Amino acid sequence: MRPDAAPRVAQHADVPALTALIDASVRRLGAGYYTEAQIASSLAYVFGVDSSLIDDGSYFVLEQHGVIVAAGGWSDRETLFGGDQCDHRADGRLDPATSPARIRAFYVHPDHARRGHATRLLGICSAAAQRAGFSRLSLMSTLPGEPLYRALGFVPEAGVDYPMPDGTTLPLIPMTKAMA
C-alpha cells in the first residue's frame, strides 16, 4: 500500500517545483486535446503559478515523499484563470452573497494522474470557500479537465476560444457548481 499524499498550503519556496509540475501537466495531459502550438502558447501566456493564491494562503499542494504531485486552489478574487504572466487578471474581491468562488490552477503530475488527487484538492478548496461564505463555485476548465469537473457536479457553459498574444487560441470551458 502506498502512502497517501499529504496536503499543505503552498509556499513561495514551492514556485520552482510548481512551475515544473505545471509544465509536465500541461504538456503531457494536454496532448491529444491541444496542438503543440496551443500547449506552448498556453504555457507562455496563460498557465503558470499565480502568486496571489500563495499570498492569500488559498493554494494547496499534495506532497508525496517530499515531491509535489498535485496543486490546486480557490480564490475570492475576480480573476477566473491564468498565472502571473496572464494579462487579464483582476484582483478585486468577490462578494460571496452574489458571486461564486473561483476554483483555480489545478494541476496533477501525469505520473500521478487518475489517483483522486484533484478530487481531494477540490474537496479542500470547496470546504474553504464554503467557510468563507460562498455557496457556488466557478472555474475555467481545460479540455482534459472537463470530464473530471463534470463528474464532480460542475455544469459546463458554452466553450470559449481564449485568444493568446501570439494569435493562437485555446479552447476552454467555463463551468459552475452550487455547493450543498
| Euclidean distance between CA atoms 76 and 21, whole angstroms | 24
CATH number for the domain harbouring residue 54: 3.40.630.30
CB 124 within 8 A of CB 57: no
Please give the Cα distance from 145 to 160 (Å, whole number): 15
Provide the pLDDT for residue 3: 52
**What is the predicted pLDDT for the residue at 87?**
72
β-bridge partners, 107: 71
- 1 is a domain residue: no
Segments of the chain with pLDDT less than 50: 1-2
pLDDT at 2: 43
- Decide if 117 is inside a domain: yes
Give domain status of residue 77, yes or no: yes
Which residue in 63, 46, 79 sits closest to 11, CA to CA? 63
Specify if 109 maps to a domain. Answer: yes
In whole angstroms, what is the distance from residue 145 CA to residue 129 CA?
Answer: 20
Compute the Cα dihedral for 75, 80, 82, 85 and give only its sign.
negative
The answer to whether residue 110 is domain-embedded is yes
The DSSP annotation for 94-159 comes to: PPTTTSPEEEEEEEE-GGGTTSSHHHHHHHHHHHHHHHTT--EEEEEE-TTTHHHHHHTT-EE---
Range of the domain at 67: 6-178
Integer Cα distance of 48 and 85 in angstroms: 7
Q: For residue 86, what pLDDT is reported?
A: 82
Within a domain: 37? yes
> Is the distance from CB of 137 to CB of 173 less than 8 angstroms?
no
The domain total for the chain is: 1
Tell whether 43 is covered by a domain: yes
Element (H, E) at 173: strand 169-178
User: Does residue 52 belong to any structural domain of this protein?
Assistant: yes
pLDDT of residue 1: 30
